[in-house]
């Protein structure tokens, strides 16, 4: 079952109003590590230290500043900062719809499941999801939640409505900044490459993959805890394929895959 209700809001566009509850859609389970003092294995605490005097500074003596120039700061009051938070309306305003396939995954940040809020007006939920699904479109929307202003996309998945938060355009580094070169690849190499990929294609079944690393890490920890010696292995390094060997490597791969 998805997590508890994180927030409540109301989707709005034209004559449509659907009240919803947001739930987490993803839950990460990771082995947590802490930072220890090497000498005595005591868990360390984080402190804010004044570099100038080299002493710890308690929260009451801390201030927030924005660095405008090296070493120069504009001090900002917590109350002033509070006032910049957008007004807390519960509206998820849909501004436009786009073809769902146009959404570049680089923009996807977090995802929530939406449940109709039966305490309020939510009758349109089913209709909305069905329409989104049939038209294969997503609703681009904005809303204010927990003092932040969000950009998002509403999409159907089966009969469930999902809300993805999107990154702002200046938060995604454009491909052009990578300054990749235009290198010529022959049609022959491309053909063999395509054939190879087709041979190596399998249906997408994410359930196949387990987090083996976590399991092994757990074993390592148990081993150490029992006082057993841990054998250190060296990481495997693979030799890169030289450009003039590329065609050969592709042909050999295709033979191997067939």
111 and 163 Cβ atoms separated by less than 8 Å: yes
**Position of tokens 């050999």?**
252
> What token pair was written down for 216?
């092994």
Decide if residue 249 touches other proteins (CB under 8 A).
yes
> Which of 6, 89, 121, 126 forms a contact with other proteins (CB under 8 A)?
126
Residues in the chain: 258
> Which of 79, 88, 204, 258 forms a contact with other proteins (CB under 8 A)?
204
Decide if residue 146 touches other proteins (CB under 8 A).
no
Count of other CB atoms within 10 angstroms of residue 138: 24
> Which of 79, 88, 119, 179 forms a contact with other proteins (CB under 8 A)?
179
- At closest approach, how far in Å is the CB of 100 from other proteins? 9
3-class secondary structure, 161: strand
What is the x/- site pattern for other proteins, positions 42-81, by CB under 8 A? xxxxxxxxxxxx--xx---xxxxxxxxx-xxxxxx---xx
φ/ψ of 226, rounded to 5, equals -80, -5
Decide if residue 241 touches other proteins (CB under 8 A).
yes
Identify which of residues 86 and 121 has a Cβ nearer to other proteins in the complex: 86
Using CB atoms within 10 Å of the CB of residue 84, give its burial: 0 to 12 exposed, 13 to 18 middle, 19+ buried.
exposed
- At closest approach, how far in Å is the CB of 20 from other proteins? 10
Residues with Cβ within 8 Å of 18's Cβ and at least 6 positions away in sequence, in order, are: 10, 11, 116, 121, 122, 123, 124, 125, 128
Which of the residues 16 through 45 are near other proteins (CB under 8 A)?
16, 23-45
Decide if residue 86 touches other proteins (CB under 8 A).
yes
Residues with Cβ within 8 Å of 223's Cβ and at least 6 positions away in sequence, in order, are: 230
Decide if residue 142 touches other proteins (CB under 8 A).
yes
- Applying CB under 8 A, the site for other proteins has a residue count of 172
> Which of 7, 17, 165, 253 forms a contact with other proteins (CB under 8 A)?
253
**Position of tokens 């074993």?**
219
- At closest approach, how far in Å is the CB of 2 from other proteins? 4
- At closest approach, how far in Å is the CB of 137 from other proteins? 6
Decide if residue 120 touches other proteins (CB under 8 A).
no
**CA 169 → CA 73, 100, 106, 172, distances in Å?**
27, 17, 10, 6
Decide if residue 232 touches other proteins (CB under 8 A).
yes
> What token pair was written down for 166?
């999107």
Decide if residue 143 touches other proteins (CB under 8 A).
no
């Amino acid at each position: 079952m998805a997590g508890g209700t994180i927030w409540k809001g109301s989707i709005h566009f034209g004559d449509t109003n659907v009240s919803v509850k947001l739930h987490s859609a993803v839950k990460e389970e990771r082995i947590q590590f802490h930072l220890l003092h090497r000498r005595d294995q005591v868990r360390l605490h984080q402190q804010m230290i004044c570099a100038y005097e080299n002493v710890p500074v308690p929260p009451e003596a801390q201030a927030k500043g924005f660095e405008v120039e090296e070493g120069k700061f504009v001090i900002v009051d917590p109350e002033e900062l509070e006032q910049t938070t957008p007004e807390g309306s519960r509206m998820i305003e849909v501004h436009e719809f786009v073809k769902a396939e146009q959404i570049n995954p680089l923009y996807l940040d977090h995802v929530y499941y939406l449940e109709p809020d039966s305490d309020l007006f939510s009758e349109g939920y089913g209709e909305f999801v069905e329409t989104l699904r049939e038209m294969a479109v997503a609703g681009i929307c904005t809303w204010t939640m927990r003092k932040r202003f969000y950009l998002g996309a509403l999409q159907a998945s089966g009969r469930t409505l999902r809300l993805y938060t999107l990154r702002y355009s200046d938060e995604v580094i454009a491909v052009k900044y990578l300054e990749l070169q235009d290198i010529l690849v022959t049609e022959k190499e491309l053909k063999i490459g395509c054939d190879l990929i087709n041979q190596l294609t399998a249906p997408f079944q994410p359930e196949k993959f387990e987090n083996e690393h976590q399991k092994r890490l757990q074993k390592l920890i148990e081993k150490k805890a029992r006082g057993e010696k841990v054998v250190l292995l060296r990481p495997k390094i693979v030799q890169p394929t030289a450009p003039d060997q590329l065609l050969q490597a592709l042909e050999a791969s295709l033979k191997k895959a067939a």
